Structure 1
Amino acid sequence: MNKPLFPLGKIVATPGAFKALEESGQQPATFLERHQSGDWGDCGPEDKQENDLSVREGFRIFSVYHTSKGQKIWVITEADRSSTCILLPDEY
C-alpha cells in the first residue's frame, strides 16, 4: 500500500455493500487502501481534482470503484475524518 494520505476514522459499510463485496469475493481493505492512497477509482477528472483539494483542505473525499462482478461501490470519508463509509450508490 502507498502511504496513507488521510485517516479513515471509523469504517462502516451498508448491507448492500457487504453483499456486493461478499458476492465478488473481495475484501473491503482492497478498496479502502486504494481510497486512502489517492487512487480515486472511476471518478471523473473533476471529481479527482476535487478529491486532491479535499485531502489538502480537509473536505469530504469520494471514490468510485467496481467490484470484480461489476457492481459499483462508493467510498466516502467525511470531512472531519471521523468515519469512512462503503456503500452502493442507491444507498446514499
Structure 2
Amino acid sequence: MAAQALPIGQASSRRFFPGETVVTCGVDALVQQGRLNPVPYLHRHLNGDWGDLDDYDKRQNDAALESGEDRLFSSYQVAPGLQLWIITEWDRSVTTLLLPSEY
C-alpha cells in the first residue's frame, strides 16, 4: 500500500498524538478528485469522536486510549456509499486514513 503523508497542523484539543499521518492511494485519489476532505474526520478521530461505531467499539477505543496498549479505530460515513476508516497503531507511531476496501 503506497501512502502519502497528510499534514494535520496543530490541534490543542486532541486527546492523543497520531504519529506520522498517512493516506492510502484510494483516499488520495478521492482528495485529488475533490470528493473527500479527510482533515475534519482526522480531527474528530484525534478528539476521541470515533464516528459510526457501536457503543461496544467506542468503549474499546476509550479503553485503548487510556491503556495505550491497543490500536484506535474510527469509521465515518462521508457520503452515501463512501466510508472512511482511520486507524492509529497501538504505539501511536502511525495513523492511516483508508477506505474499507483497502484494509
TM-score scaled to structure 1, two decimals? 0.87
2:27 paired residue among 17, 23, 30: 17
- Decide whether aligned partners of structure 1 residues 88 and 13 sit closer, same or farther in structure 2, where only a CA change above 3 A counts: same
The count of corresponding residues between Structure 1 and Structure 2 is 92
Q: CA shift at 1:27, angstroms?
A: 2.2
Structure with greater proportional helix content:
1
Larger Rg: 2
List, as ranges, runs of 4+ consecutive aligned residues in structure 1 with deviation greater than 6 Å: none
Asked whether 1:61 is paired with 2:54, we answer no
Q: Give unmatched runs, 5+ long, in structure 2.
A: 1-10
Q: Deviations over 1:7-48 (max 9, x none)?
A: 000011111122334455442211110000011000111110
Q: Deviations over 1:33-82 (max 9, x none)?
A: 00000110001111100000011011200000122454011000001000
**CA-atom RMSD in angstroms:** 1.9
Amino acid at match of 1:87: L
* 1:29 aligned partner: 39
2:53 paired residue among 36, 43, 50: 43
Q: Distance in 1 between matches of 2:14 and 2:98?
A: 21
2:98 paired residue among 70, 87, 91: 87
* 2:83 aligned partner: 72
Higher RCO, 1 vs 2 (CA within 8 Å, ≥6 residues apart): 1
TM-score scaled to structure 2, two decimals? 0.79
Q: CA shift at 1:2, angstroms?
A: 7.1
Q: Give unmatched runs, 5+ long, in structure 1.
A: none
Which deviates further from its counterpart, 42-51 or 26-35? 26-35
